[in-house]
Protein backbone atom coordinates (compact mmCIF):
# COMPACT_ATOMS: atom_id res chain seq x y z
CA UNK A 1 0.00 0.00 0.00
CA UNK A 2 1.39 3.37 -1.01
CA UNK A 3 1.65 6.03 1.61
CA UNK A 4 0.49 9.62 0.85
CA UNK A 5 3.06 12.07 2.00
CA UNK A 6 2.08 15.26 3.81
CA UNK A 7 2.94 17.57 0.90
CA UNK A 8 0.93 15.37 -1.46
CA UNK A 9 -2.01 15.47 0.92
CA UNK A 10 -1.83 19.25 1.15
CA UNK A 11 -1.78 19.43 -2.65
CA UNK A 12 -4.82 17.17 -2.89
CA UNK A 13 -6.71 19.24 -0.33
CA UNK A 14 -5.84 22.44 -2.21
CA UNK A 15 -6.92 20.87 -5.49
CA UNK A 16 -10.14 19.70 -3.90
CA UNK A 17 -10.83 23.17 -2.55
CA UNK A 18 -10.11 24.72 -5.94
CA UNK A 19 -12.49 22.26 -7.59
CA UNK A 20 -15.18 22.95 -4.97
CA UNK A 21 -14.96 26.70 -5.41
CA UNK A 22 -14.93 26.29 -9.21
CA UNK A 23 -18.04 24.14 -8.93
CA UNK A 24 -19.71 26.68 -6.61
CA UNK A 25 -18.90 29.39 -9.14
CA UNK A 26 -20.32 27.34 -12.02
CA UNK A 27 -23.44 26.54 -10.01
CA UNK A 28 -23.90 30.20 -9.23
CA UNK A 29 -23.48 31.03 -12.92
CA UNK A 30 -25.98 28.35 -13.89
CA UNK A 31 -28.48 29.68 -11.36
CA UNK A 32 -27.94 33.21 -12.60
CA UNK A 33 -28.41 32.14 -16.21
CA UNK A 34 -31.51 30.20 -15.26
CA UNK A 35 -32.99 33.21 -13.51
CA UNK A 36 -32.15 35.46 -16.51
CA UNK A 37 -33.76 32.92 -18.81
CA UNK A 38 -36.87 32.76 -16.63
CA UNK A 39 -37.11 36.58 -16.58
CA UNK A 40 -36.78 36.70 -20.36
CA UNK A 41 -39.38 33.99 -20.76
CA UNK A 42 -41.79 35.94 -18.54
CA UNK A 43 -41.03 39.06 -20.62
CA UNK A 44 -41.66 37.18 -23.89
CA UNK A 45 -44.96 35.86 -22.53
CA UNK A 46 -46.05 39.33 -21.46
CA UNK A 47 -45.31 40.98 -24.79
CA UNK A 48 -46.81 38.11 -26.79
CA UNK A 49 -49.96 38.51 -24.69
CA UNK A 50 -50.25 42.27 -25.33
CA UNK A 51 -53.28 42.94 -27.47
CA UNK A 52 -53.03 46.67 -28.02
CA UNK A 53 -50.24 48.95 -29.19
CA UNK A 54 -49.95 50.94 -25.91
CA UNK A 55 -50.04 47.71 -23.90
CA UNK A 56 -47.16 46.26 -25.92
CA UNK A 57 -45.00 49.38 -26.05
CA UNK A 58 -45.66 50.00 -22.34
CA UNK A 59 -44.61 46.43 -21.49
CA UNK A 60 -41.37 46.77 -23.47
CA UNK A 61 -40.36 50.08 -21.89
CA UNK A 62 -41.38 49.00 -18.39
CA UNK A 63 -39.84 45.54 -18.31
CA UNK A 64 -36.94 45.32 -20.72
CA UNK A 65 -34.62 47.65 -18.73
CA UNK A 66 -35.17 45.44 -15.66
CA UNK A 67 -35.09 42.05 -17.39
CA UNK A 68 -31.96 42.88 -19.37
CA UNK A 69 -30.35 45.22 -16.84
CA UNK A 70 -30.25 48.15 -19.25
CA UNK A 71 -30.05 51.89 -18.62
CA UNK A 72 -31.92 52.91 -21.76
CA UNK A 73 -34.45 51.21 -24.03
CA UNK A 74 -36.03 53.08 -26.93
CA UNK A 75 -37.95 52.12 -30.06
CA UNK A 76 -37.83 53.77 -33.46
CA UNK A 77 -40.56 52.68 -35.85
CA UNK A 78 -40.74 53.08 -39.60
CA UNK A 79 -43.90 54.97 -40.45
CA UNK A 80 -43.93 56.10 -44.04
CA UNK A 81 -46.86 58.45 -44.58
CA UNK A 82 -47.44 58.62 -40.79
CA UNK A 83 -50.22 55.99 -41.04
CA UNK A 84 -49.34 54.29 -37.76
CA UNK A 85 -49.16 57.56 -35.84
CA UNK A 86 -52.44 58.81 -37.33
CA UNK A 87 -54.36 55.62 -36.60
CA UNK A 88 -52.95 55.27 -33.08
CA UNK A 89 -53.79 58.90 -32.32
CA UNK A 90 -57.34 58.31 -33.60
CA UNK A 91 -57.62 55.26 -31.39
CA UNK A 92 -56.67 57.45 -28.43
CA UNK A 93 -53.03 56.43 -27.91
CA UNK A 94 -51.34 59.06 -25.76
CA UNK A 95 -47.88 59.43 -27.28
CA UNK A 96 -46.79 61.72 -24.45
CA UNK A 97 -46.83 58.60 -22.26
CA UNK A 98 -44.10 57.06 -24.46
CA UNK A 99 -41.26 59.57 -24.80
CA UNK A 100 -38.92 56.74 -25.83
CA UNK A 101 -41.01 55.88 -28.87
CA UNK A 102 -40.16 57.74 -32.06
CA UNK A 103 -41.14 57.39 -35.69
CA UNK A 104 -39.16 57.92 -38.88
CA UNK A 105 -40.52 58.06 -42.42
CA UNK A 106 -37.52 56.54 -44.22
CA UNK A 107 -35.34 53.55 -43.47
CA UNK A 108 -32.07 55.50 -43.85
CA UNK A 109 -33.00 57.56 -40.79
CA UNK A 110 -32.64 54.40 -38.65
CA UNK A 111 -28.86 54.63 -39.12
CA UNK A 112 -28.10 51.04 -40.22
CA UNK A 113 -25.44 50.25 -42.73
CA UNK A 114 -27.71 49.46 -45.66
CA UNK A 115 -25.17 49.59 -48.50
CA UNK A 116 -26.55 48.91 -51.98
CA UNK A 117 -29.60 46.79 -51.33
CA UNK A 118 -31.49 44.39 -53.56
CA UNK A 119 -33.90 41.48 -52.93
CA UNK A 120 -31.01 39.12 -52.07
CA UNK A 121 -29.03 41.39 -49.76
CA UNK A 122 -29.11 40.00 -46.23
CA UNK A 123 -30.79 42.25 -43.66
CA UNK A 124 -28.54 44.63 -41.72
CA UNK A 125 -26.86 43.36 -38.55
CA UNK A 126 -27.18 44.98 -35.13
CA UNK A 127 -24.71 47.75 -34.40
CA UNK A 128 -22.91 47.39 -31.09
CA UNK A 129 -20.66 50.30 -30.27
CA UNK A 130 -19.75 53.14 -27.92
CA UNK A 131 -22.47 55.74 -27.45
CA UNK A 132 -21.90 58.79 -29.64
CA UNK A 133 -24.35 61.63 -28.80
CA UNK A 134 -24.05 63.13 -32.29
CA UNK A 135 -24.61 59.85 -34.11
CA UNK A 136 -27.18 58.35 -31.75
CA UNK A 137 -29.29 61.38 -30.85
CA UNK A 138 -32.23 60.08 -32.92
CA UNK A 139 -32.18 56.64 -31.33
CA UNK A 140 -31.76 58.09 -27.82
CA UNK A 141 -33.49 61.48 -27.85
CA UNK A 142 -33.47 61.58 -24.08
CA UNK A 143 -30.25 59.66 -23.36
CA UNK A 144 -29.50 59.19 -19.66
CA UNK A 145 -26.27 60.73 -18.37
CA UNK A 146 -23.22 58.42 -18.45
CA UNK A 147 -24.62 56.27 -21.28
CA UNK A 148 -21.54 54.46 -22.58
CA UNK A 149 -22.36 51.66 -24.98
CA UNK A 150 -25.36 50.98 -27.20
CA UNK A 151 -26.89 48.31 -29.41
CA UNK A 152 -29.10 49.37 -32.31
CA UNK A 153 -30.95 46.23 -33.33
CA UNK A 154 -33.00 46.17 -36.56
CA UNK A 155 -36.60 45.02 -36.17
CA UNK A 156 -37.21 42.78 -39.16
CA UNK A 157 -40.32 41.20 -40.63
CA UNK A 158 -39.80 39.07 -43.73
CA UNK A 159 -36.51 40.88 -44.39
CA UNK A 160 -38.33 44.22 -44.21
CA UNK A 161 -36.97 46.69 -41.66
CA UNK A 162 -39.91 47.90 -39.56
CA UNK A 163 -37.84 49.79 -37.01
CA UNK A 164 -35.04 49.62 -34.53
CA UNK A 165 -34.81 48.44 -30.93
CA UNK A 166 -32.23 50.59 -29.19
CA UNK A 167 -30.51 49.38 -26.04
CA UNK A 168 -28.11 51.41 -23.94
CA UNK A 169 -25.88 50.78 -20.95
CA UNK A 170 -23.63 52.83 -18.67
CA UNK A 171 -21.18 49.92 -18.84
CA UNK A 172 -18.72 50.58 -21.70
CA UNK A 173 -18.05 46.85 -22.09
CA UNK A 174 -21.73 45.89 -22.34
CA UNK A 175 -22.07 46.39 -26.12
CA UNK A 176 -18.84 46.11 -28.10
CA UNK A 177 -18.43 45.29 -31.82
CA UNK A 178 -16.76 41.94 -31.02
CA UNK A 179 -19.74 40.66 -29.01
CA UNK A 180 -22.10 38.04 -30.47
CA UNK A 181 -25.50 39.40 -31.52
CA UNK A 182 -27.60 36.20 -31.48
CA UNK A 183 -29.29 37.07 -28.22
CA UNK A 184 -30.32 40.64 -29.11
CA UNK A 185 -31.39 39.51 -32.58
CA UNK A 186 -33.61 36.84 -31.05
CA UNK A 187 -35.15 39.38 -28.66
CA UNK A 188 -35.69 41.87 -31.50
CA UNK A 189 -37.35 39.22 -33.65
CA UNK A 190 -39.95 38.49 -30.96
CA UNK A 191 -40.55 42.21 -30.42
CA UNK A 192 -40.88 42.74 -34.19
CA UNK A 193 -43.51 39.99 -34.52
CA UNK A 194 -45.46 41.40 -31.58
CA UNK A 195 -45.28 44.94 -32.95
CA UNK A 196 -46.42 43.93 -36.42
CA UNK A 197 -49.24 41.91 -34.91
CA UNK A 198 -50.64 44.66 -32.67
CA UNK A 199 -50.19 47.33 -35.34
CA UNK A 200 -52.19 45.32 -37.88
CA UNK A 201 -54.84 44.55 -35.23
CA UNK A 202 -55.14 48.24 -34.39
CA UNK A 203 -55.36 49.10 -38.11
CA UNK A 204 -58.18 46.57 -38.55
CA UNK A 205 -59.92 47.93 -35.49
CA UNK A 206 -59.61 51.42 -36.91
CA UNK A 207 -60.91 50.40 -40.36
CA UNK A 208 -63.89 48.69 -38.69
CA UNK A 209 -64.76 51.85 -36.78
CA UNK A 210 -64.27 54.54 -39.37
CA UNK A 211 -65.97 55.74 -42.50
CA UNK A 212 -63.56 55.32 -45.38
CA UNK A 213 -64.93 58.27 -47.38
CA UNK A 214 -64.67 61.00 -44.74
CA UNK A 215 -62.25 59.48 -42.21
CA UNK A 216 -64.65 60.18 -39.32
CA UNK A 217 -66.08 57.39 -37.17
CA UNK A 218 -68.84 55.16 -38.50
CA UNK A 219 -72.19 54.28 -36.99
CA UNK A 220 -70.89 51.11 -35.33
CA UNK A 221 -68.35 53.15 -33.36
CA UNK A 222 -70.83 55.82 -32.33
CA UNK A 223 -73.49 53.31 -31.25
CA UNK A 224 -70.94 51.61 -29.00
CA UNK A 225 -69.41 54.82 -27.68
CA UNK A 226 -72.85 56.22 -26.89
CA UNK A 227 -73.56 53.29 -24.56
CA UNK A 228 -70.25 53.81 -22.73
CA UNK A 229 -70.79 57.55 -22.46
CA UNK A 230 -74.37 57.24 -21.18
CA UNK A 231 -73.21 54.87 -18.41
CA UNK A 232 -70.38 57.24 -17.48
CA UNK A 233 -72.58 60.36 -17.60
CA UNK A 234 -75.07 58.65 -15.28
CA UNK A 235 -72.34 57.55 -12.87
CA UNK A 236 -70.48 60.84 -12.81
CA UNK A 237 -73.55 63.02 -13.16
CA UNK A 238 -72.88 65.23 -16.17
CA UNK A 239 -74.78 66.05 -19.38
CA UNK A 240 -74.26 64.55 -22.79
CA UNK A 241 -75.99 65.63 -25.96
CA UNK A 242 -76.42 64.32 -29.47
CA UNK A 243 -76.59 66.25 -32.70
CA UNK A 244 -78.16 64.72 -35.82
CA UNK A 245 -77.11 66.59 -38.97
CA UNK A 246 -78.38 66.08 -42.51
CA UNK A 247 -77.18 67.97 -45.59
CA UNK A 248 -80.12 69.72 -47.27
CA UNK A 249 -81.21 68.61 -50.73
CA UNK A 250 -78.14 66.48 -51.13
CA UNK A 251 -79.76 64.64 -54.02
CA UNK A 252 -79.69 67.95 -55.92
CA UNK A 253 -76.03 68.43 -55.01
CA UNK A 254 -75.23 65.03 -56.50
CA UNK A 255 -77.36 65.81 -59.56
CA UNK A 256 -75.51 69.10 -60.06
CA UNK A 257 -71.89 68.16 -59.36
CA UNK A 258 -71.98 64.40 -59.87
CA UNK A 259 -71.36 61.63 -57.38
CA UNK A 260 -67.65 62.40 -57.03
CA UNK A 261 -68.45 66.03 -56.38
CA UNK A 262 -71.03 64.87 -53.81
CA UNK A 263 -68.33 62.79 -52.12
CA UNK A 264 -66.10 65.86 -51.95
CA UNK A 265 -68.95 67.79 -50.31
CA UNK A 266 -69.34 65.03 -47.72
CA UNK A 267 -65.62 65.20 -46.90
CA UNK A 268 -65.65 68.97 -46.56
CA UNK A 269 -68.82 68.98 -44.42
CA UNK A 270 -67.20 66.38 -42.12
CA UNK A 271 -64.12 68.60 -41.85
CA UNK A 272 -66.19 71.70 -41.07
CA UNK A 273 -68.15 69.86 -38.36
CA UNK A 274 -64.96 68.51 -36.86
CA UNK A 275 -63.35 71.94 -36.75
CA UNK A 276 -66.08 73.11 -34.35
CA UNK A 277 -65.79 70.20 -31.91
CA UNK A 278 -63.74 69.46 -28.83
CA UNK A 279 -61.38 66.49 -28.76
CA UNK A 280 -63.66 64.67 -26.33
CA UNK A 281 -66.62 64.86 -28.75
CA UNK A 282 -67.19 62.14 -31.33
CA UNK A 283 -68.29 62.63 -34.91
CA UNK A 284 -69.67 59.79 -37.02
CA UNK A 285 -71.13 59.50 -40.48
CA UNK A 286 -74.34 57.59 -39.97
CA UNK A 287 -74.73 56.81 -43.64
CA UNK A 288 -75.55 58.80 -46.82
CA UNK A 289 -75.48 62.49 -46.02
CA UNK A 290 -76.21 62.11 -42.30
CA UNK A 291 -73.76 62.81 -39.49
CA UNK A 292 -74.19 62.33 -35.75
CA UNK A 293 -72.13 64.12 -33.13
CA UNK A 294 -71.85 63.06 -29.52
CA UNK A 295 -71.02 65.98 -27.22
CA UNK A 296 -69.57 65.15 -23.84
CA UNK A 297 -70.32 67.40 -20.88
CA UNK A 298 -72.70 69.54 -22.91
CA UNK A 299 -76.28 70.43 -21.94
CA UNK A 300 -78.97 71.27 -24.50
CA UNK A 301 -78.07 74.95 -24.60
CA UNK A 302 -74.35 74.48 -25.16
CA UNK A 303 -74.96 71.67 -27.70
CA UNK A 304 -77.41 73.93 -29.57
CA UNK A 305 -74.81 76.68 -29.53
CA UNK A 306 -72.21 74.34 -31.11
CA UNK A 307 -74.82 73.10 -33.61
CA UNK A 308 -75.56 76.67 -34.67
CA UNK A 309 -71.83 77.29 -35.16
CA UNK A 310 -71.59 74.17 -37.34
CA UNK A 311 -74.66 75.14 -39.38
CA UNK A 312 -73.24 78.61 -39.93
CA UNK A 313 -69.81 77.29 -40.92
CA UNK A 314 -71.31 74.92 -43.54
CA UNK A 315 -73.47 77.69 -45.02
CA UNK A 316 -70.78 80.37 -44.80
CA UNK A 317 -68.72 79.56 -47.88
CA UNK A 318 -69.07 77.52 -51.05
CA UNK A 319 -67.36 74.14 -51.22
CA UNK A 320 -64.82 73.62 -53.96
CA UNK A 321 -65.46 70.22 -55.50
CA UNK A 322 -62.91 70.73 -58.28
CA UNK A 323 -60.74 73.68 -59.38
CA UNK A 324 -63.57 75.00 -61.59
CA UNK A 325 -66.67 73.89 -59.68
CA UNK A 326 -67.94 75.22 -56.39
CA UNK A 327 -71.22 74.46 -54.70
CA UNK A 328 -73.25 75.98 -51.91
CA UNK A 329 -74.69 73.62 -49.33
CA UNK A 330 -76.65 73.97 -46.11
CA UNK A 331 -77.49 71.51 -43.38
CA UNK A 332 -80.29 70.99 -40.89
CA UNK A 333 -79.55 69.85 -37.36
CA UNK A 334 -81.58 68.26 -34.57
CA UNK A 335 -80.17 68.43 -31.04
CA UNK A 336 -81.17 66.43 -27.96
CA UNK A 337 -79.75 66.09 -24.45
CA UNK A 338 -79.76 62.88 -22.40
CA UNK A 339 -82.58 63.00 -19.88
CA UNK A 340 -80.82 61.93 -16.69
CA UNK A 341 -84.06 61.98 -14.67
CA UNK A 342 -84.93 58.80 -16.58
CA UNK A 343 -82.31 56.64 -14.84
CA UNK A 344 -84.64 53.64 -14.78
CA UNK A 345 -84.28 53.03 -18.53
CA UNK A 346 -81.60 50.60 -19.66
CA UNK A 347 -78.54 52.15 -21.29
CA UNK A 348 -79.61 50.67 -24.66
CA UNK A 349 -83.08 52.16 -24.36
CA UNK A 350 -81.67 55.54 -23.28
CA UNK A 351 -79.29 55.55 -26.29
CA UNK A 352 -82.06 54.69 -28.74
CA UNK A 353 -84.30 57.34 -27.19
CA UNK A 354 -81.61 60.02 -27.38
CA UNK A 355 -80.91 59.35 -31.06
CA UNK A 356 -84.67 59.24 -31.81
CA UNK A 357 -85.14 62.61 -30.09
CA UNK A 358 -82.34 64.22 -32.10
CA UNK A 359 -83.75 62.63 -35.27
CA UNK A 360 -87.24 63.96 -34.59
CA UNK A 361 -85.79 67.45 -33.96
CA UNK A 362 -83.97 67.11 -37.30
CA UNK A 363 -87.27 66.35 -39.02
CA UNK A 364 -88.75 69.49 -37.51
CA UNK A 365 -85.77 71.47 -38.80
CA UNK A 366 -86.35 70.05 -42.30
CA UNK A 367 -90.10 70.67 -42.08
CA UNK A 368 -89.69 74.24 -40.97
CA UNK A 369 -87.52 75.26 -43.91
CA UNK A 370 -84.04 73.58 -43.59
CA UNK A 371 -80.69 75.31 -42.91
CA UNK A 372 -81.60 75.58 -39.23
CA UNK A 373 -81.26 73.84 -35.93
CA UNK A 374 -84.05 72.58 -33.71
CA UNK A 375 -83.52 71.47 -30.11
CA UNK A 376 -85.63 68.70 -28.68
CA UNK A 377 -87.38 69.92 -25.52
CA UNK A 378 -88.81 67.08 -23.46
CA UNK A 379 -92.22 67.60 -21.88
CA UNK A 380 -91.76 69.14 -18.43
N1 LIG B 1 -72.05 61.41 -53.32
C2 LIG B 1 -72.63 60.60 -52.46
N3 LIG B 1 -73.97 60.63 -52.35
C4 LIG B 1 -74.58 59.82 -51.46
C5 LIG B 1 -73.82 58.95 -50.65
N6 LIG B 1 -74.70 58.26 -49.86
C7 LIG B 1 -75.94 58.71 -50.18
N8 LIG B 1 -75.89 59.65 -51.13
C9 LIG B 1 -76.98 60.39 -51.78
O10 LIG B 1 -77.59 61.26 -50.86
C11 LIG B 1 -78.90 61.59 -51.36
C12 LIG B 1 -79.87 61.68 -50.22
O13 LIG B 1 -81.06 62.16 -50.70
P14 LIG B 1 -82.40 62.25 -49.88
O15 LIG B 1 -82.37 61.27 -48.76
O16 LIG B 1 -83.53 62.17 -50.83
O17 LIG B 1 -82.40 63.63 -49.18
P18 LIG B 1 -81.96 65.08 -49.65
O19 LIG B 1 -81.89 65.22 -51.14
O20 LIG B 1 -80.69 65.42 -48.93
O21 LIG B 1 -83.12 65.96 -49.13
P22 LIG B 1 -83.41 66.45 -47.64
O23 LIG B 1 -82.65 65.57 -46.69
O24 LIG B 1 -84.89 66.30 -47.48
O25 LIG B 1 -82.97 67.87 -47.55
C26 LIG B 1 -79.27 60.50 -52.39
O27 LIG B 1 -79.25 61.08 -53.67
C28 LIG B 1 -78.10 59.50 -52.25
O29 LIG B 1 -77.77 58.91 -53.51
C30 LIG B 1 -72.40 58.94 -50.81
O31 LIG B 1 -71.65 58.20 -50.13
N32 LIG B 1 -71.84 59.78 -51.72
Q: What CATH number did the domain enclosing 370 receive?
A: 3.30.70.270
- Residue 263 in contact with ligand 1 by CB distance below 6 A: yes
Residues 133 and 225 in one domain: no
Q: Residue 345 falls within a domain, yes or no?
A: yes
Residue of minimum CA distance from atom 30 in ligand 1: 288
**One domain, residues 185 and 229:** no
Q: Report yes or no on 306 lying in a domain.
A: yes
Residue partners of 350: CB distance under 8 A and separation at least 6: 230, 338, 339, 342
Q: With a 6 A CB cut-off, is 288 part of the ligand 1 pocket? A: yes
- Using the 3D structure, point to which of 164, 185, 208 is the last residue of a domain: 208
Per-residue pLDDT, averaged over 10-34, amounts to: 91
Check if the beta carbon of residue 139 is closer than 8 Å to that of residue 74. yes
Q: What is the pLDDT of residues 238-282, one digit of tens each?
A: 999 999 999 999 999 999 999 999 999 999 999 999 999 998 899
Give domain status of residue 28, yes or no.
Answer: no
Q: In this prediction, what percent of the chain has a pLDDT beyond 90?
A: 79
Report the first-to-last Cα separation within the chain, whole angstroms: 116
Locate the DSSP E strands across 236-355: 240-247, 282-287, 290-296, 319-322, 325-327, 331-337
Burial label, 181 (beta-carbon count in 10 A; 0-12, 13-18, 19+): middle
Residue 25 placed within a domain: no
Domain match, 101 and 147 both: yes
CA of 251 to the centre of ligand 1 (A): 5
Provide the ipTM.
0.94
Question: Reduced to 3 states, what is the DSSP secondary structure of residue 370?
Answer: coil
- Whether 238 and 199 share a structural domain: no
Q: Is 260 in the pocket of ligand 1 (CB under 6 A)?
A: no
For a pocket test of ligand 1, which of 244, 250, 257, 359 has the largest count of ligand atoms closer than 8 A to its C-beta?
A: 250
* Minimal-distance CA residue to ligand 1 atom 21: 249
**Domain tally, the chain:** 2
Examine the domain organization and report whether 284 and 170 are in the same domain.
no
Residue 85: enclosing H or E segment and its boundaries? helix 83-90
Q: 66 with 79, same domain? A: yes
| SS3 state at 236 | helix
Domain of residue 194, residue span? 49-208
Domain boundary residue, one of 173, 208, 243: 208
Same domain, yes or no: 181 and 66: yes
> Ligand 1 in contact with 339 (CB < 6 A)?
no
User: Is residue 88 exposed (0-12), middle (13-18) or buried (19+ Cβ within 10 Å)?
Assistant: buried
Q: Is 221 in the pocket of ligand 1 (CB under 6 A)?
A: no
Taking phi first (over 0 means left), then psi (-120 to 50 degrees means alpha), and beta for anything else, what does residue 32 get?
Answer: alpha
198 in the same domain as 333 = no
Q: Are 202 and 220 within one domain?
A: no
Q: Which atom number of ligand 1 is nearest to the Cα of residue 259?
A: 1
pLDDT for 53-98, tens place per residue? 999 999 999 999 999 999 999 999 999 999 999 999 988 899 999 9
Mean pLDDT confidence for 141-150: 92
Judge if 222 and 195 occupy the same domain.
no
Mark which of 208, 236, 266 sits at the end of a domain: 208
Amino acid sequence: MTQITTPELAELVAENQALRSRMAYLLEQAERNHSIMMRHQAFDLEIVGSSTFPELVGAIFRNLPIVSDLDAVTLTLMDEGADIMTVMAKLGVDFAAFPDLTFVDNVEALGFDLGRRNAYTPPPKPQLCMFDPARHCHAFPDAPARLQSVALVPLLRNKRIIGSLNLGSVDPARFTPSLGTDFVEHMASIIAICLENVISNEMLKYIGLTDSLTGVYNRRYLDRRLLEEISRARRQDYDISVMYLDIDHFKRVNDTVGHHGGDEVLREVAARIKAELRLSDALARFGGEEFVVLLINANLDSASFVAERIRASIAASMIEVSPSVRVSVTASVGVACLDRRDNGATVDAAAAELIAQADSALYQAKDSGRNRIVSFRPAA
